[in-house]
Amino acid sequence: MIKHIVRKEFTDMVRDGRFRWCAALVGALLLVSLGHGWIQARQAQEELAAAQATARDHWESQGEKNPHSAAHYGIYAFKPRLALSFVDEGVDPYTGTSVWLEAHRQNEFLMRPAQDATAAQRVGALTAAQVLQNLVPLLVILLTFGALAGEREQGTLRQLLATGIGRRELAVGKAMGVAGALALLLVPAAVVGAAALVIGSSGPAASSLARGAVLAGVYLAYFAAFVGLGLAVSAWARSARTALVVLVGVWVVNGLVAPRAAVDLSKWIHPTPSAVEFAQTLEREMAAGVEGISRPDRAAFGQRLLAEFGVERAEDLPVNEVGLYLQESEEFGNRIFDRNYGALWDTFERQGLVHEALAVAAPLLAVRTLSMGLAGTDVEQHRHFATAAETYRRDLMRQMNGDLAENSRTGELYTAGPELWAEVPPLQYDAPTLGWVLENRLLSLLVLGLWLVGAVLLAARRVRLAEVA
């Protein structure tokens, strides 16, 4: 019996001109956004490779100079893009993807497209994730609002139940009919997306496909929850019009109200300093230090070094006092950076937890967090790369200051050449694994699962209690 219901519902939907037009529009937007995102991602990968080669060439060809001057000369680090980033840009347009590594400073990331974009451009940016998170649920609503309420209005619901069809079988058949209609839209998009992953992946294709498979499962659970909600409201509402109004209201809260409210609430609960305030705090603490972190005193450092080596003059030291003091200053700055940037990153993550917790009121918040995580474009993975880049910067400064300290003496004019620059290895960055991402997104997974189970149970209850006339 369910098979006949599915066939009937699927046929009716496919023949409905409204569905064909809506599905064609959403499908076109989805395919265009996938194609545009893939092209942008490929261009970004090519630009990244070219920029890395240029930065490395500049570093190795800087000529002879003092190693600490080379530390100030610095080098760029570029955040690689994962294959799935063409689906969801996440926070990358706002955080940037490159950072300048130099002595005594932990710089902000550069190349932030959102910084130069107008408000209209930021709102109007179309990605596959936005289509999947906002437009496909709206299409689900259009397919389900009249599933049971329409049958009741037309007087056919009583007739269907009188033929011996159970309420459960009727609801399952209608849900599967909706799923079949959605498959006409989603399956081609999934095939295109999988092909783009295999072609565009710079690493092992299996890793990208694993992330893609989990992402597909996340969106399927999201759509299934909306199908359950649609059937529940359709079974409860006295008319199809009422069901449509209620479901559109749910869609507005989920897609428009909740994301904005989550941003404002998270900032209110866990405020962050402005960029100017943060820079001023860093400058002030770097100049004077803070409680527990004192700026190294040059004279005291020199006296301690003389006592350690048992000599009376800096010129008699077996090492260059300047190189050691410069590294001491680096370590002082690193503690200041860890204190301030650590607090800032922790605040961002607490804001993210507020977003995830608020997903109990809007499943889009959980899906968006999971989507960015699997695409490698969330705040946590940006922090992961920023930490790797900062570790590389500190190793580079330690190597430059160490070469100055060990291969020259105090007061001596010393320069290093290309041999030292070539000894510095390029930044090798390994992106977090799928397991790491899912472990950081357990709350979102749990909330999305609760939405799915809750929607199914609510649909089952409302269908069981639905009036037939």
Mean pLDDT of 154-180: 84
Q: What burial letters (b/e) apply to 42-68, b meaning 16+ CB within 10 Å?
A: bebbeebeeebeebbeebeebeebbbb
The pLDDT mean for the chain works out to 89
Give the count of alpha carbons within 13 A of 406, CB side only: 6
Task: Dump pLDDT digits (tens) for 285-304.
Answer: 998 888 888 888 888 999 99
Residue 427 is classified by DSSP as P
Task: Dump pLDDT digits (tens) for 318-349.
Answer: 999 999 999 999 999 999 999 999 999 999 99
Mean pLDDT of 270-283: 92
Q: What is the pLDDT of residue 201?
A: 62
Hey, what's the torsion of the CAs at 453, 458, 463, 467, to 10 degrees? 180
Placement of tokens 């259009």 in the chain? 142
Q: How does residue 114 score in pLDDT terms, banded at 50, 70 and 90?
A: very low
Q: What is the pLDDT of residue 125?
A: 67
Task: Dump pLDDT digits (tens) for 187-236.
Answer: 988 888 888 887 766 655 567 888 999 999 999 999 999 999 999 999 99
Placement of tokens 């395919």 in the chain? 31
Task: Dump pLDDT digits (tens) for 102-113.
Answer: 999 998 887 555
Chain length of the chain: 469
Q: At how many degrees (to 10) do helices 442-465 and 205-236 cross?
A: 30
List of E strands, 67-144: 75-78, 98-102, 105-110
Q: What is the pLDDT of residue 199?
A: 77
| Residue with more model confidence, 150 or 455 | 455
β-sheet bridge partners, residue 75: 101
Handedness of CA 214, 218, 219, 220 (dihedral sign): positive
| Residue with more model confidence, 375 or 166 | 375
| Residue with more model confidence, 162 or 192 | 192
Mean pLDDT of 446-463: 95
- Does residue 358 surpass a pLDDT of 80? yes
Measured distance CA(371)–CA(215) in Å, rounded: 6
β-sheet bridge partners, residue 98: 78, 110
Cβ neighbours, 10 Å, residue 314: 17
Domain boundaries in the chain?
2-465
Placement of tokens 């037309």 in the chain? 154
